[in-house]
Amino acid sequence: MTTIGILGSGQAGSTVARAALAAGYNIVIANRRSPKTLAGLISDLGPGARAAWAAEAAAAADFAVVAFPYRPEDRLPAEELAGKVVLDTNNYMPWRDGSYPEVDSGLKTVHELRQEQLPAAKVAKAFTHIQHHARSPIRVPSDALPGLFRLARPAGASDRRALAVSSDFPDAVELVTRFYDELGFDTVDNSPLSESWRSAPGTPMWMQSVDGQSRRELLRNLQRAVRPAPEGVFQG
C-alpha cells in the first residue's frame, strides 16, 4: 500500500487526501499546529488516514504533497523527503506568501526555488489549477464539491479534463501522470520547472481552473502564456 505524506491540511491538503484515500492510498497528514488538532479531520477521512507532525509525515511517505502557502521563513523536512517525489501545490501569491526577489525578478520560478530548497528530492508542480473548494456560486448540487471531485471523469470520457505537471525529473512526471489518471484526469507535461511560469496565477490556463480544460485546450493555453517582463529589465 502506497503512503502519501501530505503537509498542509487546509483546502488543498484535505481535498487531495480525500481523493487519494478514495483511490486506495494511505495518507499521513500534517498541519502547522499539531496532530492533535487534526482529530476531527482524521475521523472524517476514515480508515487509511492518520495525523502526524510534518517531519513524521514526510518520513512515512512514499511520496509527498506540499499543500501549504509556503512563506520565506518556512522550512521543509528536507532530509525526510530526500529521494522522494514531492508534489508542490503552491500558487505563488506575494500578498499571501511573502515575496521572493529571485522569483519576482523573473530569475527563476517558485518551483525551481522549491527544488533548491529540497535538493535531494524530486519536486513536481501539481494540482495548482484545480479548485480544492466548492464552486461559487453554487448553481447545481455538484457545484458544492471541490473541482478535484466535480470535474473527475473515467479514462476515455469525452469530457475528461487535463491537469498540468512540471518537473525536472521524468519519473516524477510519470508518478504524477499515474496519480492524476487514478483521480480522474489526463496530464499535460509542462516540464521542466523553469517552464512552470506558464501555469502561474493569472495565465490563460490558470483562468480556466473553475471548469477545467481538455488536454488540447490546456496545451493551447500553456502555449499562449506570456511571461511578465522581469522587474527592472526595461528600466532606464
Residues of the shown chain interacting with ligand NAP in the complex, contacts defined by CB under 6 A: 7-13, 30-33, 54, 67-69, 74, 89-91, 128, 131-133
Angle made by CA atoms 181, 57, 116, in degrees to the nearest 5: 80
d(CA 57, CA 80) in angstroms, rounded, equals 9
Give bridge partners of residue 66 from the DSSP assignment: 7, 88
- When the beta carbons of 155 and 204 are compared against ligand NAP, the nearer one is 204
Q: Which amino acid is at 74?
A: D
- When the beta carbons of 40 and 154 are compared against ligand NAP, the nearer one is 40
Residue 48 DSSP symbol? T
Give the shortest CB-29-to-ligand NAP separation in angstroms.
9
Residue-wise DSSP of 153-182: --TT-TT--EEEEEES-HHHHHHHHHHHHH
Give the shortest CB-221-to-ligand NAP separation in angstroms.
16
Within 10 A of 174 (CB to CB), how many other CB atoms are there? Answer: 16
Residue 86 DSSP symbol? E
Give the shortest CB-212-to-ligand NAP separation in angstroms.
13
d(CA 20, CA 220) in angstroms, rounded, equals 29
- When the beta carbons of 95 and 234 are compared against ligand NAP, the nearer one is 95
* Residue in the block written with cell 492510498: 25
Give the shortest CB-27-to-ligand NAP separation in angstroms.
14
Residues in the chain: 236
Give the shortest CB-143-to-ligand NAP separation in angstroms.
14
Q: Which residue is nearest to ligand NAP (CB)?
A: 10
Distances (CA, A) of 214 to 7, 133, 217: 29, 20, 5
- When the beta carbons of 170 and 201 are compared against ligand NAP, the nearer one is 201
Give the shortest CB-156-to-ligand NAP separation in angstroms.
26
Q: Measure CA 103 to chain center.
A: 18
- When the beta carbons of 133 and 215 are compared against ligand NAP, the nearer one is 133
- When the beta carbons of 73 and 236 are compared against ligand NAP, the nearer one is 73
Q: In this structure, what are the phi and psi dihedrals at residue 124, rounded to the nearest 5 degrees?
A: -135, 130
- When the beta carbons of 136 and 232 are compared against ligand NAP, the nearer one is 136
Within 10 A of 99 (CB to CB), how many other CB atoms are there? Answer: 12
Give the shortest CB-111-to-ligand NAP separation in angstroms.
11
